[in-house]
Structure formats: structure tokens, C-alpha cells
């Protein structure tokens, strides 16, 4: 099925994207795709180099008559978010992505597609491969491990790039010209404990919450979708309070930048309370379906008999974890009100992961904000909640936002061009997602930056897709932009 995308246009872009789908490239595992990009550059006789962290830079000389044009950096990232439905057998470290045409979109088979940011990388590759284009000198920068920690961008050293204009190809709606983004930080909470014995005579159940839509914790956090971790612990709090349910293990969410879609817990309950507990689970399924009917349409919450666990969490740890998860802020915290970007999410949190193993439980939260002081405040607030619950808390991997440049000459050129090409105004935005632009700017000061791309929806979830009829206009717009940047 995957090869059917090779019939789409622009042919070279889709060919490159297909090749990328055949190379496993989850964050943290990009060596194979790095080599592919290095070989790609060298195969065309272009100057190709790689820095210490793994970023690849391919330089293409200016076309005839464009030698005096400014050097333009085309930037994209090579890694992808590995998310799949629990009923799918797919190994992101070994298996290719089954990218296929589904009506007017390209999607994968119940896994993330990797259009974020594979389409951007493929567009840059297509530009490098086409010698008929008009453009100044081009530096195509392919960064690694953007999705977790922005490792590649942080690893860039001064002098690696020489360009003065950066076109980031990682925005996900055709017609949007992005000139700013949020910064972020990770909040980690951890409990260590000694497991306790199961009460004699109790019975065990596995509680499964599935069917949520999840999505990108930056660009889709405002859509009001359910957070599986929050919803699971809400149920557990009620079950503990009313039926003395005991928690053996919990496993919810996976990646910091993906809204958690599924959560699972193994619990025990006294036999005389099991029917009431099962009724409570059913009641909460109905409640969640009613509360989220505007944003979710496939919520499933069930409890089925399970093998008796070997041990349980201590009661005080169980209660502390559940109360802290229910009590911590999650979702949109504040929106901008006094700028041209009024209505854009300013600050948010994503309760990304709640996972236990024998003797240890970890909660991971990603905070985002376009305000450094607000980011610090929400991190401090979360730290307080989890410290009061007895957890060891750390705040890690802070990264800066990208502040808009109102006087951007590149933005003016691109906004005028968009109106000429498409007969309508572009939308100038600052996004709540974390782009690499602010970090790259710190190593290469003075860059004039604009981010744009085709329309990609539901990134970071198995529902991810790219709208086919936006890819060719995006690419043609990129080519004309390169021609006009003189």
C-alpha cells in the first residue's frame, strides 16, 4: 500500500517522503536516517557535513544569477513521534511506516505517519535535487531528536550555519506563516517505596481506558480532548474512597508531547465490593462519554478480571499519587489577550505519563509557555503539588520560546507572495507548539525566521494525516519564496 503515494505530486517530494517512511526514526534512534541524509547529499556532489550530535548540513550553491542573494537555511527535523494504538503490532525500531492514500489524505495504519516533520525534510531534499530552480545559496539543515529535548537544535555550535534567513518547514497548516512559538520545560515527579502484600481473598481487575484521540500537546491542547491519565485517576480516587480499591500498577501515556490516549491500571477489591466497583467503572464510562461528546467519540472504560498481582503499592503512596494527579493543573492555563496573537494559548501543561514499576512510580509533565515568567510559575506550582504529595520533583530540559520579529523582511516578502499566488491573505501566527527556531537563533544570532508547511492534522497520534491537496501548493510556494529572497 505504501507505494501508492509515489504517484502523487510533486513527485520528488513524495519519493523522498516514501524513502523516509521506510527508515525507522523515532526520537533517539536516528542513526540510520542520518546516514541516509548524508549519503543523499554526497550522491549529488553537494558539500555535506555532520556535527557532533548528529545534525546534517547539506549546502547547495546559488543558481546562475543568484550569487548575491542571501544564504537561506531550510530547516527540518529527522525524528518522528512513535505512537500506535494498543491493538496494533508495530515495532518503531524495526518496521517501516505504512503510509498510504486514504481519500484526500495520506495516513498510516493505526500509527503515527511521521509527516511531522518528514514532509518538511522531503521538501528540502527535493529542492536540493532539482537543478532547474532559481535560488541563492541554500543550507539544508536536518536536525535530530526534536520531539524529545530538541537535542539537535541545542547541539548546534556557532559557525555551523552561515545563512541569514531561516525557513523552518515544521508548521502544520497551509496559509499560516509562523513567527513565534512557546518555550517549555519538563516536570518529573517520582516516588520510591517498598511494595506490600495483597490482602487475602481480594480479587483483581485490569481497568483499561482507551479510544481517546490524544494529539499534539502544543497545537491541539486547546481542543479540550480527554487526558487518559487524569481520567483514570479520577475514577481511581472514587473507587478508593468508596470501595477501598487498592492499586497494584498503573501505566498511562508515553511521550511528553503527546496528549495521552490510553491508560491502564491493575487493582484489587474485596469480593463483596466487586459488583459495585464494576458498576462504578460503567458509570464513569457514561460520564466521560457525556462530558467529552464534543471532542471524543470512541471512549472505552472497562474492567476485566486479571491475575492477582504479586504486590500492591503502599496505601499512602497510592493515595498520594492519585490525589496529586487529580489535583495538578492540566491543559490550557492562560491565553494571550493583549497582542496581535490574542486568543493563542500562552501557557499549558500536559500530564503526559504516569507509570509504575516495582518500588517506583513516575509522573512526567510537559509545560509550555510563550512567557518565561509564566513558565517558571507553572513549573513551581506543579513542583509544589507533587512535593506536598511526597514526591521527589525535578525540572529539566528547559528551552526558550521564539519571540516574534515584527520587522521581518522575509515575512513581508512571503505574505505578499502568498496573496499573489493564492488570492487571499496569509495568517501570521505565533504557535503554542515548541519549534526549534528560538534555540537555533541562540546559536546563530540575527537570523530572520519564518516557519510554514502544508496541512498536517492530529500529529503525535495514530490519527495523524497530511492533506494531499496542500502539499503541492506548499512546495510551489517554497520554490517561489526562494526565488524572491534576493
CA-nearest of 85, 95, 118, 107 to 24 is 95
Q: Do 394 and 313 fall into the same domain?
A: yes
Cβ(41)–Cβ(56) below 8 Å: yes
- Whether omega for the bond prior to residue 302 falls within 30 degrees of 0, making it cis, is no
Q: Do 385 and 257 fall into the same domain?
A: yes
The owner of cell 536516528 is 30
Residue 33's domain is classified under what CATH number? 3.40.630.10
Catalytic, out of 34, 79, 170, 463: 79
- Where residue 62 falls (left for φ over 0; alpha for ψ -120 to 50; beta otherwise) is beta
From the centroid of its chain, how far is CA 409?
A: 30
pLDDT band of residue 165 (cuts 50, 70, 90) is very high
pLDDT at 142 (0 to 100): 98
Q: Do 168 and 213 fall into the same domain?
A: no
Catalytic, out of 146, 172, 173, 346: 146
pLDDT band of residue 359 (cuts 50, 70, 90) is very high
The 3-state secondary structure of the chain reads CHHHHHHCCCHHHHHHHHHHHCCCCECCCCHHHHHHHHHHHHHCCCEEEECCCCCEEEEECCCCCCCCCCCEEEEEECCECCCECCCCCCCCCCCCCCCEEECCEEECCCECCCHHHHHHHHHHHHHHHCCCCCCCCEEEEEECCCCCCCHHHHHCCCCCCCCCEEEECCCCCCCEEEEEECEEEEEEEEEECCCECCCCCCEEEEEEEECCCCEECCCCHHHCCCCHHHHHHHHHHHHHHHHCCEEEEEEECCCCCEECCCEEEEEEECHHHHHHHHHHHHHHHHHHHHHCCCCCCCCEEEEEECCCCCCECCHHHHHHHHHHHHHCCCEEEEECCCCCCCCCEEEEEEEEEEEEECCEEEEEEEEEECCHHHHHHHHHHHHHHHHHCCCEEEEEEEECCECCCCCCHHHHHHHHHHHHHHCCCCEEEEECCCCCHHHHHHHCCCCEEEECCCCEECCCCCCCEEEHHHHHHHHHHHHHHHHHCC
Domain boundary among 383, 399, 415: 399
Q: Do 294 and 324 fall into the same domain?
A: yes
Range of the domain at 282: 185-399
pLDDT at 254 (0 to 100): 87
Q: What is the pLDDT of residues 103-125, one digit of tens each?
A: 999 999 999 999 999 999 999 99
CA-nearest of 218, 241, 217 to 229 is 217
Residues with Cβ within 8 Å of 329's Cβ and at least 6 positions away in sequence, in order, are: 349, 378, 381, 382
Q: Do 256 and 363 fall into the same domain?
A: yes
Q: Do 288 and 381 fall into the same domain?
A: yes
Q: What is the pLDDT of residues 209-231, one digit of tens each?
A: 999 999 999 989 999 999 999 99
448 tagged catalytic: no
First CA to last CA distance, the chain:
42
Mean pLDDT confidence for 263-292? 98
Q: Do 95 and 110 fall into the same domain?
A: yes
Mean pLDDT confidence for 405-420? 94
Domain boundary among 399, 426, 456: 399
Q: What is the pLDDT of residues 310-339, one digit of tens each?
A: 999 999 999 999 999 999 999 999 998 877
Q: What is the pLDDT of residues 243-261, one digit of tens each?
A: 999 999 999 998 888 999 9
The owner of cell 491573505 is 425
Query: How many domains does the chain fold into?
Result: 2
Residue 270's domain is classified under what CATH number? 3.30.70.360
Q: Do 215 and 348 fall into the same domain?
A: yes
Q: Do 95 and 195 fall into the same domain?
A: no
Q: Do 124 and 217 fall into the same domain?
A: no
pLDDT at 182 (0 to 100): 92
Domain boundary among 399, 422, 451: 399
Sheet holding 165-168, edge to edge: 47-50, 56-60, 138-143, 72-77, 165-168, 448-451, 176-181, 427-431
CA-nearest of 74, 130, 77, 173 to 485 is 74
Residue 75, pLDDT above cutoff 80:
yes
190 tagged catalytic: no
Task: Report helix angle 115-129 to 11-21, nearest 10.
Answer: 130
pLDDT band of residue 86 (cuts 50, 70, 90) is confident
CA-nearest of 240, 381, 395, 253 to 321 is 240
pLDDT at 202 (0 to 100): 97
Q: Do 363 and 423 fall into the same domain?
A: no
pLDDT at 434 (0 to 100): 86
User: What is the overall mean pLDDT for the chain?
Assistant: 96
Mean pLDDT confidence for 351-366? 97
pLDDT at 1 (0 to 100): 52
pLDDT at 300 (0 to 100): 98
Percentage of residues in the chain with pLDDT exceeding 90? 91
pLDDT at 423 (0 to 100): 98
Q: Do 174 and 196 fall into the same domain?
A: no
Amino acid at each position: 500500500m505504501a507505494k501508492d503515494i509515489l504517484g502523487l505530486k510533486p513527485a520528488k517530494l513524495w519519493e523522498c517522503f516514501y524513502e523516509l517512511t521506510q527508515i525507522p526514526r523515532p526520537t533517539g534512534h536516528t542513526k540510520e536516517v542520518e546516514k541516509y541524509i548524508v549519503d543523499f547529499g554526497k550522491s549529488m556532489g553537494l558539500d555535506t557535513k555532520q556535527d557532533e550530535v548528529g545534525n546534517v548540513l547539506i549546502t547547495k550553491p546559488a543558481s546562475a544569477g543568484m550569487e548575491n542573494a542571501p544564504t537561506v537555511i531550510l530547516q527540518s527535523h529527522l525524528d518522528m513521534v512513535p505512537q500506535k494504538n494498543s491493538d496494533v503490532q508495530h515495532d518503531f525500531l524495526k518496521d517501516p511506516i505504512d503510509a498510504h492514500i486514504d481519500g484526500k489524505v495520506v495516513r498510516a495504519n493505526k500509527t503515527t505517519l511521521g509527516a511531522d516533520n518528514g514532509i518538511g525534510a522531503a521538501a528540502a531534499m527535493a529542492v536540493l535535487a532539482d537543478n532547474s530552480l532559481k535560488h541563492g545559496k541554500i543550507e539544508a539543515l536536518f536536525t535530530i531528536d526534536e520531539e524529545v529535548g530538541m537535542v539537535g537544535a541545542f547541539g548546534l555550535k556557532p559557525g555551523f550555519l552561515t545563512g541569514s534567513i531561516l525557513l523552518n518547514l515544521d508548521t502544520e497548516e497551509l496559509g499560516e506563516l509562523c513567527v513565534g512559538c512557546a518555550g517549555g520545560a519538563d516536570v518529573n515527579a517520582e516516588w520510591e517505596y517498598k511494595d506490600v502484600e495483597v490482602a487475602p481473598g481480594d480479587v483483581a481487575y485490569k481497568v483499561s481506558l482507551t479510544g481517546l484521540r490524544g494529539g499534539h500537546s502544543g497545537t491541539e491542547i486547546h481542543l479540550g480532548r480527554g487526558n487518559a491519565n487524569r481520567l483514570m485517576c479520577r475514577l481511581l480516587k472514587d473507587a478508593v474512597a468508596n470501595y477501598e480499591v487498592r492499586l497494584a500498577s498503573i501505566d498511562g501515556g508515553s511521550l511528553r508531547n503527546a496528549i495521552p490516549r490510553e491508560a491502564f491500571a491493575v487493582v484489587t477489591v474485596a469480593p463483596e465490593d466487586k459488583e459495585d466497583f464494576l458498576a462504578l467503572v460503567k458509570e464513569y464510562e457514561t460520564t466521560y462519554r457525556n462530558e467529552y461528546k464534543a471532542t471524543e467519540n470512541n471512549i472505552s472504560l472497562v474492567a476485566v478480571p486479571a491475575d492477582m498481582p504479586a504486590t500492591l503499592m503502599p496505601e499512602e503512596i497510592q493515595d498520594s499519587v492519585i490525589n496529586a494527579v487529580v489535583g495538578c493543573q492540566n491543559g490550557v492555563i492562560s491565553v494571550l489577550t493583549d497582542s496581535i496573537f490574542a486568543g493563542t494559548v500562552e501557557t499549558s501543561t500536559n500530564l503526559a505519563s504516569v507509570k509504575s514499576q516495582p518500588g517506583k512510580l513516575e509522573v512526567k509533565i510537559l509545560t509550555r509557555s510563550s512567557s518565561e515568567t509564566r513558565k517558571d510559575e507553572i513549573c513551581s506550582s506543579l513542583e509544589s503539588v507533587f512535593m506536598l504529595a511526597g514526591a521527589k520533583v525535578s525540572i529539566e530540559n528547559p528551552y526558550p520560546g521564539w519571540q516574534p520579529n515584527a520587522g521581518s523582511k522575509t515575512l513581508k516578502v512571503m505574505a505578499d507572495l502568498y496573496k499573489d499566488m493564492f488570492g487571499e491573505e496569509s495568517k501570521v501566527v505565533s504557535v503554542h507548539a515548541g519549534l526549534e527556531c528560538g534555540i537555533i537563533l541562540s546559536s546563530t544570532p540575527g537570523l530572520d525566521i519564518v516557519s510554514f508547511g502544508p496541512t498536517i492534522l492530529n500529529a503525535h497520534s495514530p490519527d495523524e494525516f497530511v492533506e494531499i491537496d496542500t502539499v503541492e501548493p506548499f512546495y510551489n510556494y517554497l520554490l517561489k519564496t526562494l526565488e524572491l529572497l534576493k
